[in-house]
Amino acid sequence: MDFAAADFDAEIPQAARNCDNFPMRSTITADLLFTGEELIAEPLLEVEDGRIVALSSQLETELGPHPVHYEGLLAPAMVDVHIHGAEGHDVMEATPEALAAVGGYLATRGVGAYLATTVTAPMDATLRSLAGLAKCMDAASGARLLGIHLEGPFLSHVRRGVHPTEDLQLPSVVAFDKFWQAAEGRIRLMTIAPELAGAAELIAYAAKLGVRASLGHSNATCAEAEAGVRAGAVSATHTYNAMRSFDHRDPGILATVLTSDSLYAELICDGIHVAPEAVRLYWRAKGPERAILVTDAISATGKPDGSYQLGSFAVEVANGRCTANGVLAGSVLTLDTAVRNFCEFTGAASADVLKTVTRNPARMAGLDAGSIRVGGRADFAVFSLQGELKTTLLLS
């Protein structure tokens, strides 16, 4: 994974920094800039009060005094729309301490914004978690918590993965309204199996509230998946995983996910959830406009092997593999590693791959993140020109 042919030896400690480390107005330069759309050589950024107030080239604009220079590539801080926890904490704990640990860890891995992702649980437990997340959201530190991804309970029993079968529910506007009220309207994304009775109605209802629907944990046929798209679904949850297997005479939901030009699609690129050959097929199908890399990371992320929690149940972690009763249960992947893996597996251009962790997830979920533009937030990830994450700058 090379951003350029040049080699840089200087190392910047990998640590999140905030606006306290910078004066109110700062000049930032780098060797290369990725805006979320394009690469710019020798960029010059003016940042004031956590916002980008000017963006130009060092070739066009005279440098002010004491610019802060980063050797390598400056990119938007990454966005993870599917993550359950990190650093020993699950987001469903929904406490300031838990979210500070998760947000702080993500900030060290180049992530500037994320959606706290729930897992299927008893109704009262889910409502408590949603209420807690809503109360903590604006005060969370580190990577910004911009909303909630409701993964469950509207999932297929056949493709539930590790989601507890006794807590699954048929899609229901009444049930969703309970979640919506508890979360104080902070749900941004909802995974749903489109073949279930009531799914199309709920997808359309949620869309009117600004909630994006993602097709997943589904045993849907092509026709059922397409009905979900027509109802308003905009994405697919961890493509290939917890989906009806592809068959050339009965291709099922995967055919819709891979051939629908309008549908975004998540992928867990840890080399465990999806084989490299299937990653290449996914990339050919979705490309840089619709691919989204996610981690599906659990509380074990950033910690040694052992036993950890995902929602209400235990997950065993060994050699990078997370399982509950022998079934894959999330990951310990980080987005910077996902980017490196994806580049290795596909040979795709680095700028195109960076879109999958910046612009694309932000656009899909309607988030103020994932781009470098005048007026935008000054949240950056710094990579070496060989693609290694060097530091995170969260100045907004």
Q: Among all residues, which ones are annotated catalytic?
A: 296
Q: What is the CATH number of domain 16-76+373-394?
A: 2.30.40.10
Mean pLDDT of the chain: 93
Euclidean distance between the first and final Cα of the chain, in Å?
29
Mean pLDDT of 110-136: 97
pLDDT at 10: 34
Question: Can you list the alpha helix ranges (DSSP code H) found in the chain?
Answer: 96-108, 123-136, 173-182, 199-208, 222-231, 252-259, 276-290, 335-346, 350-355, 359-365
pLDDT at 259: 98
Least confident of 23-37, 192-206, 289-303, 329-343: 23-37
Reported confidence tier of residue 33, pLDDT bands at 50, 70, 90: very high
Reported confidence tier of residue 63, pLDDT bands at 50, 70, 90: confident
Reported confidence tier of residue 389, pLDDT bands at 50, 70, 90: very high
Phi-psi region of 370 (alpha: psi -120 to 50; beta: other; left: phi over 0): left
pLDDT tens, 277-288?
999 999 999 999
pLDDT at 111: 98
Sheet with 78-83, strands from edge to edge, namely: 78-83, 111-117, 144-151, 187-192, 212-215, 235-236
Mean pLDDT of 77-96: 98
The C-alpha atoms of residue 290 and residue 297 are separated, in whole angstroms, by 21
Output the pTM of the full model.
0.94
- The CA-based diameter of the chain, rounded to the nearest angstrom, is 66
C-alpha pair distances (Å), 250 with each of 16, 242, 286: 48, 17, 21
pLDDT at 7: 31
Q: What are the tokens at 174?
A: 């009444």
pLDDT at 84: 98
The C-alpha atoms of residue 141 and residue 122 are separated, in whole angstroms, by 28
pLDDT tens, 297-312?
999 999 999 999 998 8
Give the residues across from 308 on adjacent strands. Answer: 315
Q: Which CATH superfamily is domain 78-365 in?
A: Metal-dependent hydrolases (3.20.20.140)
| DSSP reduced 3-state for 374 | coil
Tell whether the model's pLDDT for residue 17 goes beyond 60: no
Taking each helix axis from N to C end, the angle separating 199-208 and 173-182, rounded to the nearest 10 degrees, works out to: 40
Could you check whether the bond before residue 153 is cis, i.e. omega within 30 degrees of 0? yes
pLDDT at 22: 63
pLDDT at 8: 30
**Do the Cβ atoms of 221 and 256 come closer than 8 Å?**
no
Reported confidence tier of residue 3, pLDDT bands at 50, 70, 90: low
Mean pLDDT of 255-268: 98
Domain boundaries in the chain? 16-76+373-394, 78-365
pLDDT at 59: 76
Phi-psi region of 5 (alpha: psi -120 to 50; beta: other; left: phi over 0): alpha
